[in-house]
Structure formats: C-alpha cells, structure tokens
Structure 1
Amino acid sequence: MGNKNSHSKQEQLVIKNIQEFNQIESEKERHEKLLEYYFSNDTDSIDRFHVFHFLKQHIFQSNFSSPIEDKLIKGEYKVLEIGCGPGTWLLDLSSKYDNSNFVGIDIEPIFPQEIKPNNVEFIKASISNGLSFGDNEFDFTHIELLRLFYTVDQWDFILTELIRVTKPGGYIEVSGRRRENVVRAPIFCKIMDTIYASGSRRNLDTNLIYNLKSKFELQSNLGNVHRTEENFVIGPNGGKIGMIAQDLALGYFKAEPLVKTLSEEMGVSKEEYKNMIEKDLLEEFKQSCSESIYVRIWTQKLS
C-alpha cells in the first residue's frame, strides 16, 4: 500500500480533487468528470475503494438516498459511516456539506490520519464489539458492502447498534450488491457463486440485502422501509461505467488472498485461476452482458 509519505500525498490528492469536483455546478458534468479522473487500471485496494465510490455515486446520481440533503446543507448534522475504508464517501460529503460533521470507523486504519478536513473524524474500531457512542448521537448512520464480513448473528447486533446510536427523526441507510435474479455469464457466475458458497459455509449473511427490509420492518421504532436499486453491465457492452466496473472486478479477483481462497475452492492451481481471470473472464466480459445490481435500503427512526 506504499509508505507514509505516499499515503499523505494520496490523501491530499483525493481531498483536493473532491473539492475541485464539488465546484462544478452541473451535477451531470460533475459525475462525468469524476468518472474520467478515476478511470484507472491501478488494482491497489485503496484505489479501488476510491474508484468504486465514484462509480456508485454516478449510477445513483447521489451519495445517499435518504431525504437528508436540506439538513446537511443547513448544518449541525452529524453523520456516522461504519466500515469507512479510506474515507472517500465521508471526504466527499464533508467538502460539500462543510457545516455538518462526519465520523467514520473501520477496523483497518487505511483512512486519512493526519490530512483531513476539520469536520471529519476517523476512529479505528469494530462495530462487532459494539459502538462506543452514546444513544441517539447521530442524525444519519450509513453502512455498506460488509455482508461478507459478518455472520447472521453479528448482523442482528449491528443493526441494533445502528438503531441505538441514531437520533429519533434520523435516518439509517444500508447498501450493497444484490445476488438474486442477476444476469451473469458462466465464468463470472461461477466465481461469484464460489465466493457466496465460501461465505455461507462461514455463516456469513450473503443474502443480507435481500433480508434487510424484513429485518427493519420487525423494529417497532422504525418508520417505512424504502428500497431503490440501480444496475449496469460489466465490460465494454456497458460503456464507460462497464469498463470501470470491469477494471474493478478484475483487480478484486486478482488480489491476494482472494486468489489463494478461490483457487482452492475451485480445485485449481493459482496459475490456472489467474489465467481464467486474466484471459477467460476478460473475454467473457467482451462477449456478454453480465450485470451488477446495487441496492440502497433506508428508514427513519421514530423514537
């Protein structure tokens, strides 16, 4: 991941470009500029986090779906992100809504630790151990793409914690990738099924985004549960978005320790697995219309 100096330069670059992009008045132009800037073949995990953030922002045309825009602009709104990674989502919001405050937690401290806006705080912590915040502390709590990290029982606890730290009248939003009824070509389907099967054997909630709406509806202190989703085709047939998604997918599948895990799960050598990713899957993306579907679910805490 590089040394401390390279991280500092990267943090400055991310913040600088987010601030510059936020000065573009046209939202459509802003998203296009972001996509052009982050169209990269770099497969480093932190770079993928940054790229993936702006891809999701583009397909949804927003950083969130909960109705909180006016409150963020007004200020004194407090936002919590669980599993913030390098902090790209929070840095983007903090520069656009500079009168509000943002807190991110992650078990891996790859977020900026020295160079960051004054209205952002990052904390090394794991939600599975319980959040250190008091009850009713945040106006908006946000978590995404962590279904392959926590077990079914852990997710029940995590959702309880999200509700606990959210203020009455505040919103909770969870997003992630849908695995049901998704069009996938054979090789891509085999890889994803292997990932899900491996997760299921470890009791991970691979169907979380499918079950989440019903989990929220069981809570007596939550309002109506809303759901929205967007999809795109991976590879050349999906245009610019598709090519970015292809780079992200290939980089992810080729990263360690996924190479070791998936090659063992599939019963092939690492070399055979890498050849499948770099040649067979790449060719399949060119010839097919495998899709990816992302879902956002949000609700309001009533009391």
Structure 2
Amino acid sequence: MPWWFFRRRSRNTVRTAPSAQPSSGWLPGEVALPRLQGSRRYLQEQPYLLPKDLGEVNRLDFQHYVLRAILRGNYLAPIQQPRRILDIGCGTGQWAFELAQQFPQAEVIGLDLEQVKPSVSPPPNYRFVQGDILQGLPFDDNSFDFVHQRLLVLAIPQAAWPAAVQELARVTAPGGWLELVEVSIHISDLISPAGPANEQFVSLLGQLSALRGIDSEGTVMRSLDQYLAQAGLINIQRHPIQVPIGDWAGRIGALSALDIHEAWKAISAPLAARFHLPEQEILQLIDRARQEWNELHSYGTFTVAYGQKP
C-alpha cells in the first residue's frame, strides 16, 4: 500500500484516512536503488536514504551515545513512571534497551522495518515489533505512556509528517508524552558556517532528498511543535540544540564530526548512482567538508520537541 494511504488501527476498527498525494513525493519504483549498492545494503521500496547493514548498525549505536552525551540523558520530556514505552524507528534498539533498564516495571517496544540486531540479548521487558509508521501502527488507541521517535527526517516524506505525528498521538495514552527529535538537511541548519565543500555535498543531498519527497528545506525540524499541536497535544515544548562539529570543539565536537562524516559516507553510493559521479569523488568531497568544519569552527542544530496528550 502506498504511504499516502495511512492506515489507523483502533481497538475495534481499522480506519483508512487517505491524504493528498504530493506532486513531488517519492513513489515505490521511482529513483529506487537496488538492495545492494557497492558494498552497502539499501532498502529498495522505501524513501529512506541510509543503508541497512552492519556498518550502519555500528554507526547508529555510536550516534546514540553521542546524542545521549549531548542531551545528558535519553529524553527531555518530563515522564514519571511509564508503564508502556514505544520507540518508533528503533534502529539497533539501544535507546529502547536503556529505557527498559531505567524503567524495569515498564513494557518497552521498539518498532522498525527490520530487526537489525537480533543476536543481542534484550532486557526481559523489551520486545521488537516489525512495522512501518507510513503504513500505520499495529497498536490500539491510547496504548503508551511515552512515545519516542528520533531522526527519521530521511525516512518520512515531508507531506506525510502531519499524519505520522497524528498516528503517534493516537497510540499515546491520555496524560502520556510524545517526543520527537529531528535534524534538518538544509545547509544553514546542518552546517554553519559552511564552506564550498559542505555546500556542494548538502546541495547534492538536498536534490536526492527532494526526488524522494523528503524535506530538504528544514521545514520538518522547524514544524515539530506545530505537528504536535495539530495532533491535539498540550504542554508543548520545543528545544533547538546547537552542537559544535569538529575536533576544534573538544570531545563533543570530535564525536559529532565522526558521526556526521560516517553518515555522509553511507549516502555516498546513492548520490554517486543518482548523479552519475564516481563514488570516490563524493568521498573526497566529504573529506574536504570535514576539514572545513575545523577551519570554520562549524556548528549544527537539531531540535527536541515534546507534548502531552490531554
């Protein structure tokens, strides 16, 4: 089923709520990549730009620790003692594992397209559910005290964001919290100040993203609080967080730089394929961009927004 038919499940019925098809939205089969691009594995029938393989598993775990260091914790919402927690796009499951350990009395569920670390022994109160936010969530209304979604701007087409957040709010219990964490791939948010190598790479990334209906202008990150309000949530807070990028800024800067560098390398194969460029040329551009972060003392921005269901 295409993503613009958003299936909503309630306790007794299954409701279908179609939304308008965007003229520039990504469709299955349009600029789709083969599952293997060079040595990396990508999902063919999804707009998601990053790979799904062991290399990305390692990067996502590393990224989790970087974000936890920046936020000084795993979340900002003022949750108390949640009984059920849901992590959408759980990736390796590391965030959900840590929440399961922090709240041993809670049931913690991680949902993603694939289970990428099945060999890891999860906490006893954690379980994985295969699913896709773009196809609706397989949970009853008002099921979770805390719903968390992080860094899916490259996975959810821009036109689908309002309905996606409404679906997250649907499964949030009254009094519960929904937290969204997102970045922008617009150059002024992603890297600032930016040199010519950064501008060139982000321009290529933006063009490829636009072909798949993914936000390339920073609209999603700036609209998180609006999406929460439109979904009927209250007590909404929005926190833009500026992060230094580069060895010039010490430990956090070096960690952030390594994470971004590896993420950009992971997208080099799709960029090379789409724009008919040698992948080595893209990798050299990324290395020059990393040098600019130190020369220009660059920063990046991400946003955490959360709201409570009345």
Q: TM-score range by the shorter chain?
A: 0.7 to 0.9
Equivalent residue in structure 1 for 2:131, among 122, 125, 133: 125
* 1:242-288 CA distance string (max 9 Å, x none): 11122212222222xx223323556642222222223x223223312
Q: Which has the higher helix share?
A: 1
State the Cα RMSD in Å. Answer: 2.0
Aligned partner letter, 2:126: V
Q: In the comparison of the two structures, how many residue pairs are matched?
A: 251
Equivalent residue in structure 2 for 1:269, among 269, 278, 285: 278
Between the aligned partners of 1:175 and 1:65, the Cα distance in structure 2 is 10
Equivalent residue in structure 1 for 2:255, among 219, 222, 244: 244
Between the aligned partners of 1:97 and 1:64, the Cα distance in structure 2 is 13
Give the conservation status (yes or no) of the 8 Å contact 2:153–2:184: no
Shift, 1:114, TM fit: 6.0
Give the conservation status (yes or no) of the 8 Å contact 1:217–1:224: no
Give the conservation status (yes or no) of the 8 Å contact 2:201–2:286: no
Between the aligned partners of 2:236 and 2:204, the Cα distance in structure 1 is 31
* 1:86-129 CA distance string (max 9 Å, x none): 10101111112212221000002104366111110111111111
Give the conservation status (yes or no) of the 8 Å contact 1:237–1:288: no
Equivalent residue in structure 2 for 1:201, among 201, 211, 214: 211
Aligned partner letter, 1:48: R
**1:282 corresponding residue in structure 2:** 290
Give the conservation status (yes or no) of the 8 Å contact 1:232–1:238: no
TM-score (norm 1): 0.77
Q: Which has the higher strand share?
A: 2
Stretch deviating more after TM superposition (111-120 or 121-130): 111-120
SS in 2 for 1:175: strand
Between the aligned partners of 2:100 and 2:248, the Cα distance in structure 1 is 35
**1:300 corresponding residue in structure 2:** 308
SS in 2 for 1:224: strand
**Compared CA separation, residues 121 and 228, structure 1 to 2 (3 A):** same
Give the alignment of 1:28-67 within 5 angstroms: 44-67=55-78
Equivalent residue in structure 2 for 1:116, among 113, 122, 125: 122
Determine if the alignment matches structure 1 residue 84 to structure 2 residue 90.
yes
Unaligned runs of 5+ in 1: 1-42
**Compared CA separation, residues 269 and 216, structure 1 to 2 (3 A):** same
Aligned partner letter, 1:104: G
Between the aligned partners of 2:284 and 2:229, the Cα distance in structure 1 is 45
Shift, 1:204, TM fit: 1.7
Determine if the alignment matches structure 1 residue 170 to structure 2 residue 176.
yes
Determine if the alignment matches structure 1 residue 253 to structure 2 residue 252.
no
SS in 1 for 2:86: strand
Stretch deviating more after TM superposition (109-118 or 83-92): 109-118
Identity over aligned residues, as a percent? Answer: 26
Stretch deviating more after TM superposition (193-202 or 293-302): 193-202
TM-score (norm 2): 0.75
Give the conservation status (yes or no) of the 8 Å contact 1:84–1:111: no
Shift, 1:153, TM fit: 3.3
Between the aligned partners of 2:199 and 2:88, the Cα distance in structure 1 is 29
Between the aligned partners of 1:204 and 1:108, the Cα distance in structure 2 is 21
Determine if the alignment matches structure 1 residue 98 to structure 2 residue 104.
yes
Between the aligned partners of 1:144 and 1:132, the Cα distance in structure 2 is 19
Shift, 1:172, TM fit: 0.7
Between the aligned partners of 2:77 and 2:64, the Cα distance in structure 1 is 17
Aligned partner letter, 1:214: Q
Between the aligned partners of 1:80 and 1:111, the Cα distance in structure 2 is 18
Between the aligned partners of 1:113 and 1:84, the Cα distance in structure 2 is 16
Between the aligned partners of 1:93 and 1:144, the Cα distance in structure 2 is 14
Between the aligned partners of 1:223 and 1:286, the Cα distance in structure 2 is 41
SS in 2 for 1:225: strand
Equivalent residue in structure 2 for 1:231, among 217, 242, 254: 242
